[in-house]
Chains A and B, each alone.
Chain A
Amino acid sequence: MTPLESAVVAFFCSVVAGFLGSLLGVGGGIIVVPSLTLLLGVPIRFAIGASIVSVIATSSGAAVAYVRKHLSNIRVGMLLEVTTTAGALAGAFLAGRIGGGVLHIIFACVMIYTAVSMLRFNHAEGRADGVPDRLADRLALHGSFHDESTVRASPATQGIEATRQQGTETLGSKTARDAKILNASSTGSEVSYRVRRTPSGLALSLAAGVISGLLGVGGGIIKVPTMNLVMGMPLKVASATSNFMIGVTGAASAGVYFARGDVNPFVTGPVALGVLLGSTIGSGMLGRISSSVLRMAFVLLLLWVAIQMFMKGI
């Protein structure tokens, strides 16, 4: 292969990685590493260096759209970032001190249990249930987002919406423009949700940080189920919020990989461009995709990672 062909192949594989990663709330490492090592024969350390940068690219590329559309809950994201970064630090510290084999197997079992829970958990999607959470109230974590995949609003509600928007026209051009954009995509409905069990969420984010530091797994695969199953956030919001967070944890380790000389510009440059393109495309679709399709895709991802972890542990 010529260097140009190699860069083009890396670019296109990365578009796929960024696309899937941005939808599922995980970094694209699961696609970037094998395509670089198996297809292009890149040494594993350069592949891992590129995959760390691709996590940041997935996060930043998609977060622009997710934050604008209120799909990322930035308050929850920033809160959980505290324990995730602390956990990642602890995990990196423990990395040389704890045997990996058993840990991989335990983690694989947890992944399978999570996959089963995610399959069984679809009744509570987007429903504001009554578990009170004073921490979530105090930190104003509850939110709402516009779900474009749900059924079109009835003509009656659209009428009310139109009246409301005419009212906002007078409130300065910016608001009016936003209202018009909302009107243009008037499929779907506004879904509000209440965040619950914030302390458990914080504890699990700590675990996610430790595990990503110890096993080198991206934290997204733990953060998404934590926010969805434990904290009661809709899957799309959980995915977009995880996506928002992984850039920060990625940045912490990327500096280290760079200093070690693992970030090869000729490998990582095309990967970063591809992932940025893929995640930008993906972030435009998350609002429209149906939650049950997303849930199935995430379950498959969990099982795939579980298999990989079993193989590493044995």
Chain B
Amino acid sequence: MCITSAGKKTEEGRSGSTERMERIIASTLRAGVLLSVAVIVLGLCLSFARHPEYATATGADGNMTGDSYRFAHSLGETGAGVLRLEGRSIVTLGLLTLIATPVIRVALSFVVFAAQRDRAYTVITAAVLFFLLVSFLVGLAG
């Protein structure tokens, strides 16, 4: 721990703000991960509790993993399914939480850098957010 302590001291102000950022990022990611795990587990438990035959019907896995399996793939359908307490829609909600986690991480970093008046990194995170948004829109259109 001692080799770089001198170097760290000279950069105290900057490394302090970086460490705050690291804490915020780690907490955001952990919250996103824990929330999505809880929701996915809940959804899977609901599915298996409602359909005891899932544990006994040999050869039936293809019905769930195959092309004929019907499930929500828009935000509206997923929301409606969650309100009906449908297991598979709740799993999807958990997966969407997981997908959103890195995006929220970038958005939060942008806000924190802006508050710290770190101009270079405010621009950098804004650019990442911009490209994310564009690729999202392009992907949905294409």
- Which residues on A are within 8 Å of B, measured CB to CB? 1-7, 36, 40-43, 46, 53, 56-57, 59-61, 63-64, 67-68, 70, 74-75, 78-79, 81-82, 85-86, 88-89, 92-93, 138-140, 144, 146, 157, 160-161, 164, 182, 189-192, 247-248, 250-256, 258-261, 263-270, 272-273, 276
Could you tell me the distance between the alpha carbons of A272 and B43 in the complex, rounded to whole angstroms?
13
Q: Which residues of B contact A82 (CB under 8 A)?
A: 124, 127-128, 131
- Chain B contacts with A in 53-72, Cβ cutoff 8 A: 54-67, 69, 71
Considering only CB atoms, which chain B residue lies closest to A63 in the complex?
B29
20 pairs from A and B in contact (CB 8 Å cutoff): A3-B63, A4-B54, A4-B55, A57-B98, A61-B33, A64-B29, A70-B22, A85-B135, A92-B139, A146-B1, A164-B1, A248-B103, A256-B136, A264-B64, A264-B65, A264-B71, A265-B43, A265-B88, A266-B91, A269-B43
> Once bound together, how far apart are the Cα atoms of A268 and B91, in whole Å?
9
Distance in Å: Cβ of A44 to nearest Cβ of chain B:
10
With A1-B61, A144-B4, A272-B98 in contact, do A74 and B18 touch (Cβ < 8 Å)? yes
Q: Is the CB of B1 within 8 A of A253?
A: no
State whether the Cβ of B85 lies closer than 8 Å to any Cβ in chain A: no
Chain A residues with CB under 8 A of B54: 2-4
A contact face: mostly helix, strand, loop, or mixed: helix
Other than the known A42-B65, A43-B65, A248-B103, what 18 A-B pairs have Cβ atoms closer than 8 Å? Answer: A1-B59, A2-B58, A6-B61, A36-B65, A53-B98, A56-B98, A60-B98, A64-B29, A67-B22, A78-B106, A88-B135, A144-B7, A256-B139, A258-B96, A260-B73, A266-B71, A266-B88, A273-B44
Q: Is the interface of B mostly helix, strand, loop or mixed?
A: helix
Listed in ascending order, the chain B residues whose CB lies under 8 Å from chain A are 1-5, 7-8, 11, 14, 18, 21-23, 25-26, 29-30, 32-33, 36-37, 40-41, 43-44, 47-48, 54-67, 69, 71, 73-74, 88-89, 91-92, 94-96, 98-103, 105-106, 109, 120-121, 124-125, 127-128, 131-132, 134-136, 138-140, 142
Question: How far is the CB of B36 from the nearest CB of chain A, in Å?
Answer: 7
Chain A proximity of B125: nearest CB distance (Å) = 6
Asked, given contacts A85-B131, A266-B88, whether A59 binds B102 with beta carbons under 8 Å apart, the answer is yes
- A272 B40 Cβ-Cβ under 8 A: yes
**Alpha-carbon distance A199/B106, docked complex (angstroms):** 22
Known: A254-B99, A255-B99. A41 touches B64 (CB 8 A): no
Complex Cα spacing A250 to B100, Å: 10
Which of A42, A247, A256 contacts B102, CB < 8 Å?
A: A247
Residue of A nearest to B57 (CB): A2
Residues in A whose Cβ lies below 8 Å from that of B30:
64
Q: Given the complex, which residues of A lie within 8 Å of B124, measured CB to CB?
A: 78-79, 81-82
Q: Are A248 and B102 in contact (CB under 8 A)?
A: yes
Chain A residue numbers with a CB within 8 Å of B94 are 269, 272
Q: A78-B128, A164-B5, A264-B69 are in contact. Are A3 and B138 (CB under 8 A)?
A: no
- Let me know if A253 and B135 touch, CB within 8 A: yes
Given contacts A4-B48, A92-B138, contact A74 B4 (CB under 8 A): no
